[in-house]
Structure 1
Amino acid sequence: MFYMVFGLSGSQVFGGGLAVVGAVVLAFSGRYVWRATSIYRAEPISTLNETASGVLVRVSGTAQQGDADLLTAPFSGNDCLALRYAVEERRLSPYLLPWFVTIHELAGSDTFRVRTPEATVDIVEPAHTVTLKRTTVATVPSNDKPPERIARFEQNTAAVPVATHWRSPPSPFRPITRALSLGTRRYSEQCVMPGDNVTIVGRITETGNGVDPLVVSDLSAGQTLLRMAKTSLIGLSIGVFVVLLGLVLVLL
């Protein structure tokens, strides 16, 4: 009834909704692109020296443990300085093709240090973005039990459902889901361990005692930009397409 009152057709209302969704996708992807470009906008430094607070800087060197305890990776049990982990489940895409969908992901870090050729720089806040080499710790079919550590993690993490309809479908669909490996879960981690080479992009803290990190990477500046751009460009492309499709429907 809404579109009848305002003289809009159903396709125009649908198109307007698409345009809004596309604009939201563009906004999030654009924010990620801007963060990715911080790799080159940042001033490379090897020591804090007299660098003013709030300045965007890039620090490269060897990661070392600081005053904080190490983080424990949930699937492998490895000790980390920065960590990102994900649980993915194989499901049908909108195009009826099976793919892995991320159902839970979390990233963060505690305080640690980076040893450069000239000094040791403190990383004093949790990281906003952790982009590192990804390691698949386990891939578990729907009819198998995960390793004990992973099973314990799922039981204690409310955000990860132990069972879904992809893992426990109605019996008539089970031959199909098993043939397509639907419900299979993949558990992956990205970790910075003591002794790893890292690149940190962030801002000098107000007190000038360290860096508040925006990006933690295990690659050079150029390689980090390429890695982050791949994800953001896909989002930008989808956002632009959805916005244009929505505008076409509204203007028809």
Structure 2
Amino acid sequence: MYLTLLGALFVGLGLAMAWYGLRPLAVLPRLLRAAVETPETAADADDGAFLAVRGTASAAGETLSAPFSGSDCLGFEFEVTERQPFAVGIPWLDAHLDDGVATVGFALEGPDGSDRSLAVRPSSRRFALDTASTVVRVGATEAPPDRIRRFVDAREGLDPVAGWIAAIPLFGTRRYVERRISPGETYLVAGTVEREEGGRAALAGDLVITDRSVRGLALSRLRRAVFPFLVSVLFVAVGLWGIAA
């Protein structure tokens, strides 16, 4: 009886991990089939069409200040991890401490100087970036840079490294990871076209935003999905064995 319940729990956990790991792959079939457009040609797309558009990011209003670098940007996501001996992130041994996102609407402009730009309105609920990371590492006994120190002071749940962790060699190091959309840089943005007031086209909602090629993005997401998928298969296999035993 207990073995069956434990097996069912393992199966449930395995399926949850599979969903978490494979969900970012759902957009890849449509993305790989889509031709990469310019902002000028995308401006004439039909409402509801799925497009992949490459252009230069440009501010359409206010900008944001990235949390760790302080750079002006149009959107960012961050993550804080800590090297711990019993972290869930084995074999990397980095425990998740904090994360967050912020974004504003911006525009994509073509390389030819055309005045027909494409508005981009990312959803703050499903905002994620497939862009290069800026990583700041701070050892357990090191004083963090002033900007990171102010960030840690302002965030709840980011207490100093526990003394028993800092006492273990190689543990307690924190990673402050930042990914951002920088004005003037080229990005590939893929998503669904929405017609705004006045009939202007915009890419809005759950968007793919990357500084890679379509193929590079697909390979990157596939690599990241391998580990959670293998772990989910192991959990489901153990769970089914427990149910059948």
TM-score (norm 1): 0.83
2:43·2:118 contact (CA, 8 Å) conserved in 1? no
Which letter maps to 1:24? Answer: A
Alpha-carbon deviation of 1:174? 5.7
Deviations 1:33-84 (A, max 9, x none): 10344432445322234322121110012111112x1111111111112212
1:41·1:56 contact (CA, 8 Å) conserved in 2? no
Alpha-carbon deviation of 1:105? 1.9
Q: State the partner residue of 2:184.
A: 195
Unaligned runs of 5+ in 2: none
Q: 3-state SS of the aligned residue for 1:223?
A: helix
1:54·1:204 contact (CA, 8 Å) conserved in 2? yes
Distance 2:65 2:87 in 1: 36
Alpha-carbon deviation of 1:126? 3.4
Distance 2:154 2:220 in 1: 32
Larger radius of gyration: 1
Structure-2 change in CA distance of 1:41 and 1:129 (3 Å) = farther
Q: State the partner residue of 1:100.
A: 94
Q: 3-state SS of the aligned residue for 2:13?
A: helix
Distance 2:91 2:29 in 1: 33
Unaligned runs of 5+ in 1: 1-7
Q: State the partner residue of 1:17.
A: 9
1:113 aligns with 2:107: yes
Distance 2:43 2:75 in 1: 25
Which letter maps to 1:121? Answer: L
Distance 1:186 1:139 in 2: 5
1:125 aligns with 2:125: no
Q: How does 1:43-58 map to 2 (within 5 A)?
A: 43-46=35-38, 47-58=41-52
Alpha-carbon RMSD: 2.3
Distance 1:21 1:51 in 2: 42
Distance 1:125 1:132 in 2: 15
1:75·1:150 contact (CA, 8 Å) conserved in 2? yes
Which letter maps to 1:21? Answer: L
1:90·1:182 contact (CA, 8 Å) conserved in 2? yes
Distance 2:229 2:30 in 1: 18
Distance 1:49 1:73 in 2: 29
2:74·2:106 contact (CA, 8 Å) conserved in 1? yes
Q: How many residues align?
A: 233
Alpha-carbon deviation of 1:94? 6.3
